[in-house]
Chain A
Amino acid sequence: MYDVAHLSDLRHTGGSAASLVAEVRAQAAAGLTTVLIHVPADDVPHTRPFDRRVAACLREGLADLAHDDEPELAARVLLIRRPQVVTGKPRVHALHTIVVLDEPPADFAEVRTRVQRHLGPDVVWAPAGPEVRAQLPGAVLPATDWHDSGSHIARLASLGVLSRGVVTTSSVRKARPTRHVLLVGDDIARFRAIARHLPGDLEAVVVAGSAGLADAHAAGLLTEYLPAAAELGVADDRWTGFVRDRLRHLIQLYGPQAVLVGGVPHDGIAAAIGEHPGPRWLWLRPAMWRRGTGGQWAARGALFAGILEPGEFAAAGDEGWTTTARAGVSTVDPITELPAPRPRRATEPTLLCRGVEATLPGFTVVEAGPHELGHVALAVSRAGYTSFHELIGARVPTVFVPDPSAADDELTRARFAAAAGVAVCATDDEAAAAALERLADPAAREALSRRCAEVAFGNGAADAAAWLAGFCPRRSEVEAGSAR
């Protein structure tokens, strides 16, 4: 999901393009991701190129350009300029949509009606300044003009799009003493959550398999690929050497001060640790193993300078091997990408399905990321770590259908949640369908949501990032330490 999507005819020059470019540059400097959606207006010659300042933004990599054939994009904020280009439903889903009026269209009322037909009634119409406002007498507009509502980044922050604290202006970045940390594995959701809280001069490089690479890249993280043995078509013994060699290459390339391994430290990781003791090797060790499984990894803990175990809401029911191997292990609250708690606004009957196919009469099946869960009325989901903690943390009434073949103990998680009164556990499709029918009643959903709020847990992402940064001292800190 992009932080901001800008929709306009990108060939137009003038003040509108200048404002758009200034906002794109500010967003990039704040570490926010941007996508530009070009919607050509009929009154502009087909062959005219993009505004050169817009082209420069794309050339410098400050924003992505949406492909013509791309399926629907997702963005936290959609900013539309020149709204007269909107003649159909744009291929973007956004939590907030704002039409910025740098100059009002001649047929304002008609354009407004058309835009609201395609994008809904919640669209905000923001005049750029008093001159534009004066040209729209009688129109219902916000009290504050777009350019008077503080800095662009502050405006976005007020919409829940928070700066990542990354200063990316090229002239400043070149002088920036960047430190690196490699995040190895397919725990992409937790990697993303942690990376958002890292200090500005500590850059995360995600080394993922094909399952997680695209998600990490879409989150604006620098990514590298570690193919699985099956994808290479090689036996396990050769893959071990492949992983070792690939990590050697990446360690030489990035010179990381720490390597955080998510999941299990298989033989290739162990071989790389043996070959490269330089960086601090750390383990983001999952808890909640199924009873009797995974114990073979316990001895690998000795390879690491530190072990961090993300918290589990169902920790009291955990019977996995890690419960007896916590000496010297750091723990934090459950790590999620959830924003700060906000009031739920689930006004529409929507059903979120994660890993489970389901329908419910009267409910529309939707997809939602962690920042959109406040709008979800009801969910049915597997009880994997991320979904489990996101849905309970966002107080979404949920039916958990545990996956019996999962590596972690989803059944215990789901049962614990049901016992705590924060969700419903269903172990087969029939039970799930019956539970969903019961939760079609708003009162039943409200009871679950209220209980979730009563037993709310924190977000350990910031603490995990601080723990990780503690293993990556700045050069000045290292020199000071050696001097002492």
Chain B
Amino acid sequence: MLDEPDAADLAVARWEVATLTGRLRCVEDERDAAVRDRDRNRELVLALRRSRSYRLGRALAGLARDPVRAAPAVARQLRRPPAPRSGARAAAMPARIYVAVGLSRPGAHTLIRALRQRVLVEADHLPVVVTDQPTLRHLQVPGVVLEYLPDPATWSRHEPGSDWETLLAGRVAQLCRDHRAADAVVIDPRDPPTLARLLVTDRRVGSLASA
């Protein structure tokens, strides 16, 4: 038989929904940007193909080429993978947003140190920790980016007409864009994950809240 969820369970669940909403909003923005990019490129290609200079150049190239002798070489060239471009940039490390709100200062400190160890074990992502602890200077460690979000009580005191979860969703969307994050998870403040659990849940998508 399942226990009745208490207020803290419900709060974490609301944060998870807000975090997923924010991530989804960012994915939608990325999709819209990709679609716009694709449409723009398609229009450029069509315009090029319709141009008089392109058609003339293509005809001249076809006339000049000896199709019988040149065909095997052209085919080999097409099968060959393209040479890497000099100076190509290495892909940036993907970021992961950890929403760590409601933790005490020592709790936040412990979590951030665990994340630091986590990326020391396997440097496969850049942790971005969203904390409501204003004393960021005491929490900073190398390899972990800190972001700050006003806590729910502070927010309701200053902005009583606006839900904190709405703030969280908007902020997660923004942070996903800012840090090029591919994932966002919520940390349950009652039970922040240890290094071991961070490693176990490494490949899971979603919340660490109940991990």
* Residues 223 to 243 of chain A near chain B (Cβ within 8 Å): 223-225, 227, 231-233, 242
- B106 and A69 contacting across the interface, CB-CB below 8 Å: yes
* Residues 33 to 72 of chain A near chain B (Cβ within 8 Å): 59-62, 67, 69
Is A381 on the interface with B (CB-CB < 8 A)? no
Kindly identify which residue among B140, B167, B170, B177 contacts A210, using a CB–CB cutoff of 8 Å: B140
| Further pairs besides A213-B135, A225-B146: 8, Cβ < 8 Å | A61-B157, A203-B158, A214-B135, A214-B137, A223-B134, A225-B148, A233-B145, A253-B170
CB distance from B126 to the nearest CB of A (A): 9
CA gap between A207 and B135 in the complex, in Å = 14
Interface centre among B134, B152, B161 (most CB of A within 10 A): B134
Is A245 on the interface with B (CB-CB < 8 A)? yes
30 A-B residue pairs with Cβ-Cβ distance under 8 Å, sorted by A, are A60-B153, A60-B157, A61-B152, A61-B157, A62-B157, A67-B104, A67-B105, A69-B106, A168-B157, A170-B160, A174-B161, A178-B159, A210-B140, A210-B146, A211-B137, A217-B134, A218-B134, A222-B150, A222-B158, A222-B159, A223-B150, A224-B148, A225-B148, A227-B146, A227-B147, A231-B140, A231-B145, A231-B146, A246-B178, A249-B171
Is B154 on the interface with A (CB-CB < 8 A)? yes
- A246 and B135 contacting across the interface, CB-CB below 8 Å: no
Is A91 on the interface with B (CB-CB < 8 A)? no
What 0/1 readout, one digit per residue, does chain A (407-430) give for beta carbons within 8 Å of chain B?
A: 000000000000000000000000
Contact count A vs B, C-beta below 8 Å: 71
- A61 and B154 contacting across the interface, CB-CB below 8 Å: yes
Given A231-B146, A245-B177: A214 in contact with B134 (beta carbons within 8 A): yes
Task: Count A interface residues, CB 8 Å.
Answer: 33
What 0/1 readout, one digit per residue, does chain B (74-87) give for beta carbons within 8 Å of chain A?
A: 00000000000000
Complex contacts, A69 vs chain B, CB 8 Å: 106
In the complex formed, the residue of A with least CB distance to B130 is A225
If over half of B's interface residues share one DSSP class (helix, strand or loop), that class is named, otherwise mixed; here it is helix
CA gap between A61 and B171 in the complex, in Å = 21
Complex contacts, B154 vs chain A, CB 8 Å: 61, 217, 222
Is A117 on the interface with B (CB-CB < 8 A)? no
Binding site for B on A (CB under 8 A): 28, 59-62, 67, 69, 168, 170, 173-174, 178, 203, 210-211, 213-214, 216-218, 222-225, 227, 231-233, 242, 245-246, 249, 253
Given A61-B154, A67-B105, A232-B145: A249 in contact with B134 (beta carbons within 8 A): no
Complex contacts, A218 vs chain B, CB 8 Å: 134
Interface centre among B153, B155, B170 (most CB of A within 10 A): B153
CB distance from B209 to the nearest CB of A (A): 21
Is B45 on the interface with A (CB-CB < 8 A)? no
In the complex formed, the residue of B with least CB distance to A221 is B158
- A213 and B140 contacting across the interface, CB-CB below 8 Å: no
Complex contacts, B106 vs chain A, CB 8 Å: 69
- A61 and B148 contacting across the interface, CB-CB below 8 Å: no
